[in-house]
Amino acid sequence: MPASGTPPQSADQAGSTDSTNHRPRRRRCPAVRLVLLTVIAVLLGASQAAPAVHLDPPDLSGLPEGAYVALGDSYASGFGVPPYAAGTDVTGGNTCRRSAGSYAHIVSERTGRTLEMGACSGARTRNFYEANESWGEAAQLDRLDPDTGLVTFSIGGNDAGFARILGDCIGSGDRGFLSAVGCSSDAEVTGAVDGAIDALAGKTTRDGVYSYESIMTDIGTRSPNAAVVAVGYPRLFPEQGGSGGLLLGRCHGVTKVDQRWINAKTDELNTAFKAAALRHGYLFADPTGNFERHELCGRHGSWMFGLLETGRFHPNTDGHRATADAVIKALGVANRTTQPAQLADVEAQAANARPIAAISVSRDGEQLTLDASASTDADGAIASIDWYVQHADGTEEVLTGARATTTVPTDEQAVVTAVVTDNQGKETFSSQVSPAAG
């Protein structure tokens, strides 16, 4: 990474789009076609039926003795995977929804430890310190004591506003499914999320948000001998975006650019979470790799509940197993030995400033000219720029390069979003609306 004193650099990349070469079809006889279809079917069947490769389980020797306490939000409590513990799914009352199928219960079984479940659906960082007396819920950190031997927790998603974004901004609300104006193009939404992530990372402060640093410190004070695992969030969508559900080209109603934005914010949150954990000598369990190709609209079947399911945008039973696998891996001797060496790199990623997007969208009749070449990065360089153009008919066009052009009917507006990525992979999303020309 360039030194912090490196002057800002501008982006200057030629715009480009992909093209498809069309070749004349070759005629094949029915017998050849039948053989090809049979081979494809066998290969597909084998790939889908083949069991996952089971590696030797991690060596869990040397972990501290003591009970296991699991804290956090709905991703930890198991929302969406009933049955729930008695008294935690009460209409008009306690809705912590603590599931016996959550990753914490699986970790409890695999480590042979008694579980005290404190995670609660809807929890924010303040719930680690504040009791919810009407629900009969103590502050989550009050469950810890010097005899605790293992702590896992997932927290921060609700502070960042992910539940509101997914529920109101994309899944329902005033915009509607066919709206071209999504979350990533709403400065009020993106600014609020960025501000919350910065507060969790300890870069700024925000009322009601406790930094990961303060939470880690307090866990260490209450349970100084425990093995502590911060459990990150999986990406919701495939890296290149996915398609599936009611609307063509979208994943459960979510545009490609919003999918990318949600993934980017998840990555930022996880990086801040991991940096704080390693700083305190704790462990970080990252489920991202385990969920690859099993995200919403993933190629091999989703391990997340979809838009129309009760546990929408949360891990299903397979997702909790995958998360438990990540926790067990983090607890293994090999990871406990090597993960601390990652601190310097993770700290640098967490400290990395977001690039500054400077975009212009001009229109001449049907032609749109897009320019983000003036974008800069204060502590590095601009690595790439992508454009997402939302058309009035609900379709989405993707272009690449600092400068690009496209066409839009004169009587239609378009929403244009530039994704500016720096040399460490951090992304900034900036949007403009191009009004109809006619």
Contact indicator for 372, 419 with CB cutoff of 8 Å? no
Report the alpha-carbon distance of residue 406 to residue 434 in Å, rounded: 12
pLDDT of residue 76: 99
Question: Which residues in 51-86 are b (16+ Cβ under 10 Å) and which e?
Answer: eeeeeeebeeeebeebbbbbbbbbbbbbbbbeebbe
Question: Which residues in 385-407 are b (16+ Cβ under 10 Å) and which e?
Answer: bbbbbbbeeeebbbbbbbbbbbe
- DSSP annotation of 353: P
Contact indicator for 75, 121 with CB cutoff of 8 Å? no
422: CB partners within 8 A, 6+ apart:
352, 354, 355, 377, 380, 381, 382, 383
pLDDT of residue 423: 98
Round the CA-based radius of gyration of the chain to a whole number and report it: 24
For the chain, which domains are there? 67-351 (3.40.50.1110), 354-434 (2.60.40.10)
Closest CA to 314 of 69, 82, 52: 82
pLDDT of residue 286: 98
**Cβ neighbourhood burial of 103 (10 Å; 0-12, 13-18, 19+):** buried
Report the alpha-carbon distance of residue 385 to residue 376 in Å, rounded: 11
71: tokens are: 């804290």
Whole-model pTM: value is 0.85
Report the alpha-carbon distance of residue 186 to residue 264 in Å, rounded: 15
pLDDT of residue 41: 34
pLDDT of residue 179: 56
Q: 């069309």: which residue's tokens?
A: 22
Contact indicator for 159, 200 with CB cutoff of 8 Å? yes
pLDDT of the chain along its 438 residues, tens only? 434 333 444 444 433 333 333 333 333 333 333 333 333 333 333 333 333 444 578 999 999 999 999 999 999 999 999 999 999 999 999 999 999 999 999 999 999 999 999 999 999 999 999 999 999 999 999 999 999 999 999 999 999 998 778 765 665 445 554 555 578 888 888 999 999 999 999 999 999 999 999 999 999 999 999 999 999 999 999 999 999 877 788 898 889 999 999 999 999 999 999 999 999 999 999 999 999 999 999 999 999 998 889 998 999 999 999 999 999 999 999 999 999 999 999 999 999 999 999 999 999 999 999 999 999 999 999 999 999 999 988 899 999 999 999 999 999 999 999 999 999 999 999 999 999 986
pLDDT of residue 252: 87
Strands 403-407 and 367-371 come out as antiparallel
Torsion of CA 24, 28, 30, 36, to 10 degrees: -100
- DSSP annotation of 54: -
Q: 């198991």: which residue's tokens?
A: 78
pLDDT of residue 112: 97
Active site residues: 74, 314
For 304, the 3-state DSSP assignment is: strand
Q: 């462990």: which residue's tokens?
A: 283
Closest CA to 249 of 391, 412, 408: 391
pLDDT of residue 308: 85
Q: 């945008």: which residue's tokens?
A: 313
